[in-house]
Structure 1
Amino acid sequence: MPGIESVLLVENENAVRTLRLNRPDVLNAFNDDLLAALVKETKAAVRDDSVRCLVIAAAGRAFCSGQDLDTVKARMADPLAPELGQHLRNLYNPLIATIRTMEKPVIAAVNGVAAGAGCSLALACDLRVAAASASFIEVFINVGLVPDSGSTFTLPRLVGMGRAMEMVFTGRKVDADEALRIGLVNQVVPDDDLPAATIKLATKLASLPTRGIGLTKRAFNRSWTVDLDDQLEYEACLQTTAGKTADHAEGVRAFLEKRKPQFTGR
């Protein structure tokens, strides 16, 4: 059986770190080892100042087919196994929360199917680059479950409540072209171009003011739960913080000196 390290590959290219799901024989379905590795490595990326953009990608012909059915069968046969809700609290929820609150940009590079919790993982990322082969399926209804791993939060915010409900209630496949049209993904590229297109975007984001991106994520995450006056005040507070960063000072200097800024993420 693969160990906890081999089910997730960690790749570094300059300031970009890629976490590559590596269970291609089962379409990168989640088991506990893969989930634990993702939780560990996303938290490590938060702490590592050399990482200024995180990419979540996958080996093989699929992004992630959701929960491994073998583990589901084993859990159903074990009367001492945690209930489904506790399993989410233990592994899935910490992963999604870390991605959503990480003050660095996170990109999902989606090839092939992203189903169930695999779809949720892609939606939790800040941006999604999809291969032409990509498809997104909220399959939970097919086994009598509700969407989890943040899908009920992220999906309606990306495509609107009506489309979100239709996708979830029917469990139908959304292909890459439709995903782009409805705002589920940011760009679609030929399959062979997915790695290069993702790294190009990630490298661009990693060269920008990381603190500014992180503070912007804070503002967007909060904006759904407050009124306009509260959000205006929050923007003012964040702007005070951003105005004290080294990257803000560098951006102003570069503008005045008519040169390209060299941001450091500080």
Structure 2
Amino acid sequence: MTASTVLYEPSKDGITTITINRPAVRNAVNHATSLKLAEAFQKFENDASQKVCIFTGAGTNFCAGYDLHEVAGNSTGEVAVGPVDKVNGAFGPMGPSRMQLSKPIIAAISGHAVAGGLELSLLADMRVVDTTAVFGVFCRRFGVPLIDGGTVRLPKVVGQGRALDMILTGRPVDAQEALAFGLANRVVPKGQAVEAARALARDLLGFPQKCMQADLVSAHYSAYDSPSLEDALRFEFARGALVVAEESVQGAKKFDKGAGRGGKFEKGKL
């Protein structure tokens, strides 16, 4: 039986792992895989029991981008952009790249995260990378543009100047440079990205979830949707006000009893 090209693994503790499973082609994504990826992320978003997603690739690479063998077989390029119009613009050629989820996504990256794979990594809110990780707009060499959010998300993450350096030159960016750019949030030894991402996910589970999700959604809105500072501030207040009575009062009571004094954290919990 042929293994699925996308593995969806929820867990009892609320951490879902989504894995691109095409290691023989460095997890390059074809049309069928893109649809499965989009379906997997939508499933995670809709499942209230799952709180944090780890996004990774099977084997030694995260994702080498769109499968250019499939693009080469279609002279019009229709295959490469098929998913976009078929679902009212909700999905991109790489699958979930046009989504903006309300729950944290942590990408666990080793090896190549290039071209469309770089764009998929930008769907994540945090990127934990091992020392083998390489980012880059490698599609620059072949005349394939960034159409999965690379020109939108990358400048928001690393700034316009650094983003244009990567976008225009297509050059490789290793783990340490990615960390300096802010593209990587953590660098860990070879082969430990998933384990480190899982530890980070467990830390996030220790916090009041509605409050964390409200702040995440507000940050997304400010970065991508808000037309003005005033609008972003209003949105932030409206989202935050909804959780104050439910979670903030209880948190304040814990502080009043001595928890978390002096900025103390214990494995993500007060």
Task: Give the alignment's TM-score, normalised by structure 1.
Answer: 0.87
Report the CA distance between 1:238 and its aligned residue. 1.6
Cα distance in structure 2, aligned partners of 1:182 and 1:49: 34
SS in 1 for 2:182: coil
RMSD: 2.2
Cα distance in structure 1, aligned partners of 2:119 and 2:58: 18
**Equivalence for 2:130:** 131
1:214 matches 2:213:
yes
Cα distance in structure 1, aligned partners of 2:67 and 2:81: 16
Cα distance in structure 1, aligned partners of 2:92 and 2:35: 9
Deviations 1:201-252 (A, max 9, x none): 011112222222222222222224332222222222122112133x334323
Residue type of the partner of 1:132? T
**Equivalence for 2:144:** 145
Report the CA distance between 1:89 and its aligned residue. 4.3
Contact kept in structure 2, 1:62 and 1:114, CA below 8 Å: yes
Give the unaligned 5+ runs of structure 2.
266-270
- Runs of 4+ aligned residues of structure 1 deviating over 6 Å after TM superposition are none
Report the CA distance between 1:86 and its aligned residue. 4.2
**Equivalence for 2:234:** 233
Cα distance in structure 1, aligned partners of 2:196 and 2:71: 35
Identity of aligned residues (%): 30
Cα distance in structure 2, aligned partners of 1:167 and 1:175: 12
Task: Pick closer, same or farther for the CA change 1:200–1:89 going to 2, 3 Å.
Answer: farther
**Equivalence for 2:268:** none
Cα distance in structure 2, aligned partners of 1:207 and 1:96: 28
Residue type of the partner of 1:157? K
Query: How do 1:135-214 residues align onto structure 2 when only pairs under 5 Å count?
Result: 135-214=134-213
Contact kept in structure 1, 2:31 and 2:80, CA below 8 Å: no
Task: Pick closer, same or farther for the CA change 1:154–1:253 going to 2, 3 Å.
Answer: same
Give the unaligned 5+ runs of structure 1.
262-266
Query: What is the number of equivalent residue pairs in this alignment?
Result: 253
**Equivalence for 2:102:** 103
Report the CA distance between 1:259 and its aligned residue. 4.8
Contact kept in structure 2, 1:29 and 1:64, CA below 8 Å: yes
